Chain A
Amino acid sequence: MVLKVRDLPNEEYWLSGNPSCHGCPAALGLRIALKALGPKTVMVVPAGCATIIQGTFPKTSARVPLLNIAFAASASSASGVAAALELKGAVNTNVMVWAGDGATSDIGMASLSGAAERNENIIYVCYDNEAYMNTGIQRSSSTPIGAWTTTTTTGKTEAKKDVPAILLTHHVPYVATASVAFPLDFAEKLQKAAKIRGFKYIHLHAPCPPGWKFASEKTIEVGKLAVQTGCWILYEVENGVYKLSTPSLPFTNKERRKPIELYLKLQGRFAKMTDEEKAKFQAAIEEGWISAANNARAGRLFSPR
């Protein structure tokens, strides 16, 4: 079944008028995520942009129960929430971590790995805006090579950490990549995740206007270009079986991928990228597709738990 916009509820569970930046992909992602999962969802939010986006006490943008938690503690505290919900017989509920790339790829990596290895019954969404945006655009291990940040003012020299690949090594029942530019694909993946028992990981590409330095109306355009240039590959691995997602399918053919320059030139953070960095960026894309092709050919990457 292919999800359509009309399949999602009109009801808003993440209120508008919240203090996110214009064109914020995290606020957009949250709106879609809660429409997809519905009101019986407990959110766990570590420090990050979502801390701000939810609004300040005594107000809140969330219309679902929400636990704010320390930076490194989202997957672990969500484990406790999930266990307690089960103890209390709260059936048909979701526990969704909504964490940024810093909270996921850096400071929260140990607790994320622990919860994945234990196969905790939670949905972990990493909204990846590729740097510590909330603290003022510092590099994270999820920042791509060549990108300017306030702590890599001449461009990041290291490659982006592949967090979904790390999660795959934990053989959890569901790992997917998604993009805010493809909301129905994202929503479909969340709804699939909600039906699976165990640990579900969704890595959401989230282009950030102030952090990436592009105009705030271009969030979706940048997000789409990331997929169309082949730079961000949408896929899912359900119980070990790899599948490229529909929006990325055309780009298995290298000829159909748009030139990477279209993606890079929209973003001020890549303005001073060197040719060498560009070449490495391009090479990483090629490697990503080689790995995608291998995975697609293999089909099953590991046995279900």
Chain B
Amino acid sequence: MSKYKVMTGNYGIAYGAALSRVELISAYPITPQTSIVEKLSEMVETGSLKAKFVRVESEHSALAACVGGASAGARCFTATSSHGLLYMNEMVFWAGYARLPMVMAVITRSLGPPWGIWSEHTDLLAQRDTGWISMLAQTNQEALDSVIQAYMITEDPDVLLPVMIGLDAFIVSHTAVPVDVPDQDSVDAFLPKNRVPGFLLDFDEPKTMGNMTYPEWNMEFRYEMEAAMKAAQRKIVEVDRKFGDAFGRSYGGLVELYRMEDAKYAVVVAGAHAGEAKDAVDELRSEGIDAGVARVRFLRPFPKDALREALGGMKGVAVVDRDLSPGLGGIIRAELSSALYGMKRPPQVRGFIAGLGGRDISVDDIKEAIVVTTKSSEAGEDEWMDLRRENL
């Protein structure tokens, strides 16, 4: 029997990892990730979770320990945030390019300078070329459930790509709400036992992993990664559906659609402010605007087909990015525009930059983004929302 517990998103991640029977955890503390690894550490120390915890001296080492552990067949987990994610960047690529199954929680937090600890998605989005499957959860419940789903996806023999699960700093990571915690037996029945290929364990036919490779051999490794990403699109949808069958909750697979069936306008978001977007759409519908929400759940593989299907025929699409690629603008807006380009009648996409450094994204902000989109016929420049121009 599952039971409800009031918990933060971070504890949701920790319970998700424990229920997934992770074997090796390695992590380094950074706000606001700390309560995940504190909880897991406590579980390991009290024996309720049978796992090894390697308490390393940096994030680079945390992911390196997971790379070593996964290479020797362990089901590995780590968590980080912001500067920690950037510090481990070399190993993020290493884990991705080595095709090592593992799961990492990323509490999305702005990058300094100036120092800030509040939510922004630029840290996670900066990792999008690393070969990791990456996603953003909206809620505490989804955080917990996504860890279990992620181990199902990452260890799939057709996928074998690591997964990072993003959750917004404080908004999800530290806000406590009731979460339905599945019981261990149900998770065991859903999630197969560890399938991590431990090539280092093979002493009879020893293998060398990652040695120097001439151009005549290298490119095929990348092609296979790309193929694995395509396979991952199918697996993500399949795993989410099966999860729904087993636990009564699912999240739309790659893209969660809210009131999109008859929508004429859509707002595209990722992460926690999908909550505000859903409220905004509810209010706008009562005001006569037929709007819906497309929440991009997975950033990689980028759900091009699902978004084309969901957004084709829209009169207008607003994208509210909580991220910035200086010189390009909103990253999700740019990626979405690219995905829609070439459709017969692509919808007009308008970009909005909001909530950087943890500034609040309100229901009114999202309503405004949609209303502006209904009134404009051209995409134009990204619009900065709630910008305090008097401080410029």
- Chain A interface (Cβ within 8 Å of chain B)? 39-40, 42, 44, 51-52, 54-58, 60, 62-70, 72-73, 75-88, 90, 93, 110-111, 113-114, 117-118, 120
Contacts and interface: CB of A to CB of B under 8 A. Distances in A.
19 contacts: A39-B206, A60-B211, A62-B206, A66-B208, A66-B211, A68-B208, A70-B91, A73-B61, A76-B58, A77-B65, A79-B61, A80-B26, A83-B65, A83-B68, A84-B23, A84-B24, A84-B200, A88-B198, A114-B57
Interface string B157-194: 00000000000000000000000000000000000000
B72 A66 contact: no
A287 to B, nearest CB: 30
Contact of B56 (A62, A76, A87, A88): A76
B60 to A, nearest CB: 6
A52 B55 CA distance: 32
B203 A40 contact: yes
B72 A57 contact: no
B216 to A, nearest CB: 10
B23 A87 contact: yes
B203 to A, nearest CB: 6
Interface string B91-113: 10010000000000000000000
Contacts of A76: 56, 58, 60-62, 64-65, 68
Nearest to A54: B211
Contacts of B209: 65-68
A121 to B, nearest CB: 11
B53 to A, nearest CB: 9
B57 A111 contact: yes
A72 B60 CA distance: 8
Closest CB pairs A-B (n = 6): A80-B68, A114-B57, A76-B61, A84-B72, A80-B65, A77-B68
Given A67-B68, A73-B67, A111-B60, A83 B210 contact: no
Given A79-B68, A111-B60, A88 B211 contact: no
Nearest to B203: A40
Q: Which of A79, A85, A118 has the most CB of B within 10 A?
A: A79
Contacts of A120: 54
Contacts, number: 169
Nearest to B209: A67
Interface residues of B, number: 43
Contacts of B73: 84, 88
Contact of A77 (B52, B67, B198, B201): B67
A73 B210 contact: no
Interface in B180-230: 198-203, 206-214, 217
A83 B64 contact: no
A63 B203 CA distance: 9
Contacts of B45: none
Given A67-B71, A80-B64, 7 more contacts: A65-B201, A66-B206, A66-B209, A76-B68, A83-B24, A111-B57, A111-B61
Contact of A81 (B68, B90, B207, B213): B68
A84 B69 contact: yes
Q: Which of B71, B207, B208 has the most CB of A within 10 A?
A: B208
Contacts of B152: none
B66 A80 contact: yes
Nearest to B53: A83
B201 A90 contact: yes
B74 interface: yes
B311 to A, nearest CB: 40
B71 A81 contact: yes
Contacts of B200: 42, 65, 67, 81, 84-85
B217 A81 contact: no
Interface string B43-55: 0000000001011
B68 A69 contact: yes
Contacts of B58: 76, 110-111, 114
Contacts of A88: 72-74, 198, 201
Nearest to B58: A110
* A54, A58, A76, A84 interface centre (most CB from chain B within 10 Å): A84
Contacts of B94: 69-70, 73
A44 to B, nearest CB: 7
A52 B206 CA distance: 18
Contacts of B23: 84, 87
